[in-house]
Structure 1
Amino acid sequence: MKTNDLMGNTGAEHVPSQHLGSEMNAVEQITLASEAQAVHFFQTVKERLLDVNRWKQIAGGTMSDFFLTDETGNLVQRKATGGDHIRIDIPGPGSQTGGGYDWVTIEEIKLEVLDNAEVLSMTARPSVNPLTDSEDTAHFLTDDASSTFQVKRVGSVISAEEHGRNEVPNTETENTLDNIRNTFVGWGAKAGFSYPQWKALVKGLLNTADIYGDSR
């Protein structure tokens, strides 16, 4: 199997299937000089993916602010684990249900190691605000949506990817202002306005300045 085909198939089962709304795929790929170099650099790429608090910095400051919290909503300074939440501060008006933020929960983190390939996947889904008793989803998308962040290595090739699935605006909360806000933000995402930030993130995850001394 060709490298590109293997890269596409590796970890594909980690991404939820698409069955309603829209989907999004942001992918970046690099090829290093040797497999040994790729194996070494991939450790850095995996650490970057799990370092949610640095995502904005990794993306070059061109995206929303992301803050990792534990399952109860308390801010934490560590790598992400399953069950954590991510508090998101996107440009513009925030969600009242979310206390001014959008919230997702990290459903699952998977690491799969094959003969000459490995993939780390993290799937997040819109969630309630863990700091309140509200049962409404505190996000501009419904909890049918998911975002799967993946980094993969096949031989000397490394890719970073974001796969959004089942993206539908969250317009049935008990808060009318949130419903209006979520309609505009959700349809903006559907129209592709969120793609540039995910593209910046996946590109930043593969920034080779640490090994080449530049930002190729």
Structure 2
Amino acid sequence: MEKEEKNYTGIIPGQEEGSIITAESHVETEDTELAQALFNTAKERLLDVNNWQHVAGELLARFQLTDAAGREVPSPVQEGYRFKLDIPGPGTEAGEGYDWVEVEAVETFDTADIESVAIRVRPASNPQTPEEEVAHFYSDESTSTFTVTREKNKVTAAVYDRNIKPNTDSERLGDKLRNTLAGAVGIGIFSKVQWKNLTDGLIQAEAT
């Protein structure tokens, strides 16, 4: 059974088809003040996408923020930016060696007892080429939503992958084979491992 989503921002999409991957880590502090301080630290780490591999320690992919044209930019993340992902093994021809996702939404929620921030991304084309083909091992029906949430004295970091399916639509045979294999490994192992490393790192007392 899936854990209840921390969807206070309302940007986690409903599950319609494909696979679900959920990674979640939480810390309960002695009081609300400590939880607020930890939430603020975790929020900064979440929005600093370029530093995720250092926060997570054993993160298997390297994440680089770019603007809509694919030019590398510093954190924090913004809606309309892209993630350029460098994952182990061969990349796609369409992505020129990388996998790409677009930042669809960055939202916050804030009340006295609950604070939350979330980023939703979706597989996208390589913005550095004129082609519109999705350059990612998941299809563009798939999404990943990254969240940090404080509920009173409990702080939770989570990643919600929804509607996950391998991207087999490429007209390039090499990309189709690569995406089929990488998508299957991603669903079975890769995403679960790297997302749990990330959620652990976001809320730990000291960044790695």
TM-score, normalized by length of structure 2?
0.94
| CA offset digits 1:117-163 (Å, max 9, x no partner) | 01101000000000000110000011000000000001110000000
Query: 1:9 Cα shift?
Result: 5.3
Aligned residue pairs total: 206
Correspondent of 1:59 among 56, 59, 81: 56
Distance in 2 (alpha carbons) for counterparts of 1:153 and 1:195:
23
Q: Which residue of 1 aligns with 2:144?
A: 147
Residue 181 of structure 2 aligns with which residue?
Answer: 184
Residues 175-214 of structure 1 correspond to what in structure 2 (within 5 A)?
Answer: 175-209=172-206
Structure 1 runs, 4 residues or longer, greater than 4 Å off: 7-10
Unaligned runs of 5+ in 1: none
What is the alpha-carbon root mean square deviation over aligned residues?
A: 1.7
Tell me by how many angstroms 1:8 deviates: 4.8
Distance 2:48 2:9 in 1: 23
C-alpha separation in 1, matches of 2:7 and 2:139: 28
The correspondence for 2:82, drawn from 80, 85, 90, is 85
The one of 28, 33, 37 equivalent to 1:31 is 28
What letter matches 2:99 in structure 1? Answer: D
What residue is the counterpart of 1:167 in the other structure? Answer: 164
Distance 2:148 2:6 in 1: 13
Q: What is the CA distance between 1:20 and its match in structure 2?
A: 1.1
Q: Give, as a single letter, the amino acid of the residue that structure 2 aligns with 1:194.
A: S
- How many percent of aligned residue pairs carry the same amino acid? 36
Q: CA deviation at 1:209?
A: 2.7
Question: Matched residue of 2:158: which SS?
Answer: strand
**Aligned equivalent of 2:45:** 48
Distance 1:44 1:157 in 2: 14
Q: Residues 59 and 9 (structure 1 numbering): CA distance in 2 closer, same or farther, change over 3 Å?
A: closer
The equivalent residue for 1:109 is: 106
Gap regions ≥5 residues in structure 2: none
Structure-1 separation of matches of 2:73 and 2:55:
18
What are the Cα deviations for residues 188-216 of structure 1, in whole angstroms up to 9, with x where unaligned? 12223320110000000001137xxxx8x
CA distance in 2: counterparts of 1:176 and 1:15, whole angstroms: 33
Letter in 2 for 1:55: W
CA shift digits 1:156-199 (9 cap, x unpaired): 10000000011111111121110000000001122233201100
